[in-house]
Amino acid sequence: MKEIVPLTPAPIVQNRLAEVRQLFNRFVVPSYGRFDLALSHGVGSYVWDVAGKRYLDLGGGIAVCSLGHAHPEISEALIEQSRRLVHVSNLYYQEPQGRLAERLVGLIAPGKVFFANSGAESNEGLYKLARRFGHDEGRFEILTAVDSFHGRTLAGIAATGQEKVKKGFEPMVTGFRHIPFNDLKAMRDSLSPATVAILVEGIQGEGGITPATADYLLGLRALCDEKKLLLLMDGVQCGHFRSGHFQSFQRILEGVPGGETFLPDGISMAKSLGGGFPIAAFWVREEVHGVRLCDLLGPGSHGTTYGGTPLGCAVALRILDVIEREQLAKNVLTTGVFFRTELERLVRAYPESCQGVRGLGFMLGLEFHDKGSIPTFSKSDKASSLQMVNRLHEAGLLTIPSGAQIIRFLPALNLSCAQVSEGCEILEGVLKAIR
């Protein structure tokens, strides 16, 4: 084996955090609460900060980096396609968009796909689909769930079932109401003559990692069939194999009587679809309630400049190739069970800090007690989730806070069991230290 000897001594690594933070303070709109961390590069499920410190990334850029960081095949797809064609506008046909649509339809069911650039924008398309569907009958209202999250555009915050995203931006876009999640009776009782659709996440993400129950999904479908409503699902965070199946409802309903024929009428996708390259989509079912739904948004009715560029589609296609070839859905199922078991072990071993584990596949949450009941945390005014995430940063682990008491794990789909163990060891070290 060839030994690599550096010709010059390694440069003195400077901590550039202060400098980068200063740029943000001066020039970037301060709409995000950021952690004191400036990242510089990554490989797989590891990232390095500007001071050269390494972190295991179990947050995956909030469920985005489906193949981890700097995946060679994503780089290759970007290079190859960018040498050919980056963008042409949707005035023309191009093969990658057609091929990606074909792949997504094949993973769901007969229907068609519209391409967008973000989760919020995909959901906007679903709102427009629903409004067009109910237009001639004067129906426009979309019911969503309490604690849901659907994005930060004006309609997105109106659709989102959390007060904190709406505050200060009133008046809200009309036509949305929020109903308790996993409560079928409440949904049935809330329908009005103006209701045209129901929109839910298969697994609530921002709301704290709460999967829909099988009964709830089947009940919503029956309700929508009975009342001629559209059943729309936001798969932005829980989709793209994060549950171990392409869409979370396919996992939740696996083996459940009646589950094999379940199908929503529209599904939004983003996050993991592009593995970090911004591309999003929504799928529309071929036909429902006697309407050819997939052709409802006809020429001129909807559009977006960057939607489904050859470049974005080439990346998304390559990601699907890798997921299939490396059987990453199976990896999520098996490694996800191992991950959950390890987290449950920590909950049992550290009951003074931990309350429980939530979620499935690679969409997991660890719930802590309120900061008031954890002595080490009670001195700070920060929520226990934030304090935990900060301590994990110090220990070399990236996770995502969710609400005041939950930290989320949304790792790359190719995460290994060894990396799960590594992460849980770091976690255990911090749990020991705060005991």
Ligand X SMILES: *Cc1c(COP(=O)(O)O)cnc(C)c1O
Residues of this chain that interact with ligand X (CB under 6 A) are 118-120, 123, 149-151, 201, 205-206, 234, 236-237, 270
**Is 236 or 354 the residue whose CB approaches ligand X more closely?**
236
With beta carbons less than 8 A apart as the criterion, state whether 343 and 332 touch.
no
With beta carbons less than 8 A apart as the criterion, state whether 231 and 265 touch.
yes
- Rounded CA gap, 275 and 70, in Å? 10
Q: How many CB atoms lie within 10 A of CB 207?
A: 20
CB of 357 to ligand X, least distance (A): 20
**Is 147 or 206 the residue whose CB approaches ligand X more closely?**
206
Query: For residue 322, what are the CA distances in angstroms to 253, 385, 413?
Result: 25, 34, 10
CB of 427 to ligand X, least distance (A): 23
**Is 270 or 315 the residue whose CB approaches ligand X more closely?**
270
**Is 67 or 126 the residue whose CB approaches ligand X more closely?**
126
CB of 30 to ligand X, least distance (A): 18
CB of 137 to ligand X, least distance (A): 28
**Is 119 or 134 the residue whose CB approaches ligand X more closely?**
119
CB of 304 to ligand X, least distance (A): 13
**Is 96 or 205 the residue whose CB approaches ligand X more closely?**
205
CB of 274 to ligand X, least distance (A): 10
- Nearest to ligand X by Cβ — which residue? 119
CB of 350 to ligand X, least distance (A): 28
**Is 50 or 120 the residue whose CB approaches ligand X more closely?**
120
- Rounded CA gap, 162 and 126, in Å? 20
**Is 141 or 206 the residue whose CB approaches ligand X more closely?**
206
Which residue(s) pair with 198 in the sheet?
143, 231
With beta carbons less than 8 A apart as the criterion, state whether 388 and 374 touch.
no
Buried b (16+ CB within 10 A) or exposed e, 267-277: bbbbbbbbbbb
- Rounded CA gap, 322 and 157, in Å? 34
Q: Which of 112, 51, 80 is nearest to 302 (CA)?
A: 112
In sequence order, what E strands does 361-422 have? 363-368, 397-398, 400-402, 406-409
CB of 362 to ligand X, least distance (A): 14
With beta carbons less than 8 A apart as the criterion, state whether 204 and 120 touch.
no
**Is 276 or 423 the residue whose CB approaches ligand X more closely?**
276
The enclosing H or E element of 49 equals strand 46-49
CB of 418 to ligand X, least distance (A): 28
Q: Which of 69, 60, 67 is nearest to 423 (CA)?
A: 60
**Is 66 or 419 the residue whose CB approaches ligand X more closely?**
66
CB of 12 to ligand X, least distance (A): 38
The enclosing H or E element of 54 equals strand 54-57
Q: How many CB atoms lie within 10 A of CB 226?
A: 10
With beta carbons less than 8 A apart as the criterion, state whether 371 and 406 touch.
no
Query: For residue 175, what are the CA distances in angstroms to 98, 142, 276, 433?
Result: 33, 6, 32, 49
CB of 148 to ligand X, least distance (A): 7
Q: DSSP string spanning 141-173?
A: EEEEETT----SSHHHHHHSS-HHHHTTSPSPP
Tell me the helices (H) and strands (E) count for the chain, helix number first. 15, 17
**Is 139 or 150 the residue whose CB approaches ligand X more closely?**
150
Residues 6+ apart with CB under 8 A from 297: 114, 125, 128, 129, 132, 284
